[in-house]
Structure 1
Amino acid sequence: MKNIQINIKHLRSLKKFSQERFAQELGWTRSMVGSYEEGRSEPPIDRLIDISDYFKLPIDILVKNDLSQSKESSFMQIGNQRLLFPISVNDNDEELIEIIPTKASAGYLAGYADPEYIEQLQKIKLPFLPTGTHRAFPIKGDSMLPVKDGAYIVAKFVDDVRDIKDGRTYIVLTKSDGLVYKRVYNQIAEKQTLLLSSDNKTYDPYEVPIQEVLEVWEFTCCINTQEYDEKELKLSSIMTMFRELQVELEAVRKMS
């Protein structure tokens, strides 16, 4: 289990622990830590459980993956466990934007947490983006007009779904629907759900149980692959005006 040898040393270094301090944290001896890191012996299952419990990482991630390129930000908290969250960086340790291609977007549900899947994606760097982890997602259909079919939404990873802000747009990955781009309303406190709404009102809003949500990415910018014509731009302005008016009317209704 060469990965275990690499991973124990790397996880210890993330904590900036000496071998002695690390041994104290886990209730081991320093010689055990040295033996495992140098590959002179392999940890038995009870030691793997110790590491899994301490770092909140599933044992299969510890055994199957080389974590030596991961950082603290490479892990995503889900419940009381952390999952490996692949992040690509360039030679200057700057995060790159992975592009989810249109043809492969259906496979994102199966590969979103797989470092090998993320590694093979094309990547770009957009220096004007704010700090944070971003990905570019293809848009299909007309549910979020004026964003056109074939456009890409560049979005920032949301660490905690409870931070979702009502009425903003997000890429949401769910177990049942895969990737969707919607305007989201946070109903976690009241109903343990998110309300997903389309800007094209021919599509009805629907609720998603929070346990169905795998990832959420907040809109940062849109990259259009087609030119707008004059009529579409006018339609966009009208839709924006009505959307803003609806928000104002709802605010007035709550005050009255």
Structure 2
Amino acid sequence: MKKISKNIAHLRHLRGVSQEYLANDLNITRSRLSSWEEHRAEPPIDLIVKLSEYFNVSIDSLLKIDLTKVKDLRDLLKIGGNRILFPVMVDSEGKDLVELVPIKASAGYLDGYSDETFIENLPRISLPFAESGKFRGFPIKGDSMPPLESGAYVVGSYVESVSDIKDGKTYVVLTQHEGLVYKRLYNKINEDGNIHLHSDNKAYAPYKVKPEEIFEIWSFVCSINATDSPISDLVFSAIQNIQADVVELKMQRIGK
């Protein structure tokens, strides 16, 4: 857990507090805090939770992401009941790029979505509409959302909060138990406390998800099929990029 050592010190400096001040707030000794920052010891899980709450970042971010590389902590966004770090990839000119999640990597996206290394190694392309905002492409599996079929891609725009869901619109959703799904959503939080997910193929029954079980939401922007889009050549050649091999190696490591 080397990253948490750097992250504690970095977040403390950003907060503008001394080791003694933070140690008092956490009800620990200054020497104990110092041992964490110098990577001579590791905080126990109960204090990792306290640190997460104190700095208002997710436990995943504390453990997995080098926060010293985050240019602006306003990139911390809230989804469901969780505050997460959202790594943003840009090109040499500072323009946002569209990451593509290859089919082989999509099964492990739930483990890798907040991992900076995982996101860095996704194949990326530029698209004309991606001048502002955050976009990502996801592979479609199955036949629950016709006319889209397996092999197509949905490009989505990042949604910051479940409260921004527009009833009846389609979204790519990352959930705690289902992983990545593409569905038509309805916000029923004020009625039964859940988000309702519907398939356009009526053979599939709708179901409900609690807001706190939703980690990411991506609003539909466009779909890209292998045969009918001039952009598709760019997309599928990008997927063939050697970066996809790096993703596969990453997923093999996660699966061990």
TM-score (norm 2): 0.69
1:174-195 deviation line (CA, Å, top 9, x unaligned): 1222111111111111111112
Distance 1:101 1:48 in 2: 33
Distance 2:123 2:168 in 1: 31
Shift of residue 63, structure 1, vs aligned partner: 5.5
1:117-149 deviation line (CA, Å, top 9, x unaligned): 112211112132362211100011222112232
Residue number in structure 2 paired with 1:239? none
After superposition, the CA RMSD in angstroms is: 3.5
Amino acid at match of 2:201: N
Question: After TM superposition, which residue ranges in structure 1, 4 or more long, deviate above 6 angstroms?
Answer: 39-44, 46-50
Change (3 A) 1:54 1:94: farther
Amino acid at match of 1:184: L
Change (3 A) 1:64 1:100: closer
Distance 2:115 2:92 in 1: 22
How many residues align structurally? 217
Residue number in structure 2 paired with 1:181? 182
Shift of residue 110, structure 1, vs aligned partner: 1.7
Q: Point out where structure 2 has 5 or more consecutive residues left out of the alignment.
A: 24-29, 230-256
1:23-71 deviation line (CA, Å, top 9, x unaligned): 49x568xxx9xxx7xx889899699888644421256743553212213
Amino acid at match of 1:170: Y
Shift of residue 104, structure 1, vs aligned partner: 1.7
Checking the alignment, whether the CA contact within 8 Å between 1:3 and 1:62 is kept in structure 2 is yes
Checking the alignment, whether the CA contact within 8 Å between 2:64 and 2:115 is kept in structure 1 is no
Residue number in structure 2 paired with 1:56? 56
Residue number in structure 2 paired with 1:190? 191
Change (3 A) 1:22 1:42: farther
Residue number in structure 2 paired with 1:75? 76
Shift of residue 164, structure 1, vs aligned partner: 0.3
Distance 1:112 1:41 in 2: 26
Residue number in structure 2 paired with 1:89? 90
Change (3 A) 1:89 1:11: farther
Checking the alignment, whether the CA contact within 8 Å between 1:56 and 1:81 is kept in structure 2 is no
1:107 equivalent to 2:142? Answer no
Name the larger-Rg structure.
1
1:155-214 deviation line (CA, Å, top 9, x unaligned): 011111121000100001112221111111111111111121122223222222323222
Q: Point out where structure 1 has 5 or more consecutive residues left out of the alignment.
A: 229-256
Checking the alignment, whether the CA contact within 8 Å between 1:139 and 1:150 is kept in structure 2 is yes
Distance 2:178 2:212 in 1: 13
Checking the alignment, whether the CA contact within 8 Å between 1:170 and 1:181 is kept in structure 2 is yes
Residue number in structure 2 paired with 1:238? none
Q: How does 1:145-160 map to 2 (within 5 A)?
A: 145-160=146-161
Task: Give secondary structure in 1 for the equivalent of 2:130.
Answer: coil
Checking the alignment, whether the CA contact within 8 Å between 2:76 and 2:86 is kept in structure 1 is yes
Residue number in structure 1 paired with 2:248? none
Distance 1:136 1:54 in 2: 34
Change (3 A) 1:60 1:161: closer
Checking the alignment, whether the CA contact within 8 Å between 1:151 and 1:226 is kept in structure 2 is no
Greater relative contact order (CA < 8 Å, ≥ 6 in sequence) = 2
Shift of residue 227, structure 1, vs aligned partner: 3.7
